[in-house]
Amino acid sequence: VTSEVVDRVYNEYIGNAENRAQVRDGLLDAIGDSSFVLSAIEVARYHRDAGNPVYFYEFQHRPSSATAVVPEFVKADHADEIAFVFGKPFLAGDV
């Protein structure tokens, strides 16, 4: 990794941080983007290039079930949208 890449990533995610919480949030965004978003975009492009319609979303609603379970700064975790899309049976283990 070149220093130019490191500088660009730092400036994108952390460069304007004014406090430790903003540094934390920027670091979490960088990790999330590299772990989930980049590969999802790549797969979406393959489908698009094959002529298929592609829909992309980012779920950020903090579910009430997260209270006292995950830190307050966490918006939504991976797969939190399932209960909102498919309903309570997935939360209750009825499937």
- Which DSSP letter does residue 50 get? T
Give me the number of domains the chain comprises: 2
Contact between 95 and 89 (Cβ < 8 Å): yes
Q: Are residues 42 and 68 located together in one domain of the fold?
A: no
In the 8-state DSSP scheme, what is residue 65?
Answer: G
pLDDT digits (tens, 9 = 90+) for 14-67: 999 999 999 999 999 999 899 889 999 999 999 999 999 999 888 888 888 888
Per the structure, the complete domain to which residue 9 belongs is given by 1-51
Asked if pLDDT for residue 94 goes beyond 60, the answer is no
Q: Which residues of 52-74 are buried (b: 16+ CB within 10 A; e: fewer)?
A: eeeeeeeeeeebeebeeeeeeee
- pTM equals 0.71
Do 33 and 78 belong to one domain?
no
Q: What is the pLDDT of residues 72-88, one digit of tens each?
A: 888 888 888 888 888 76
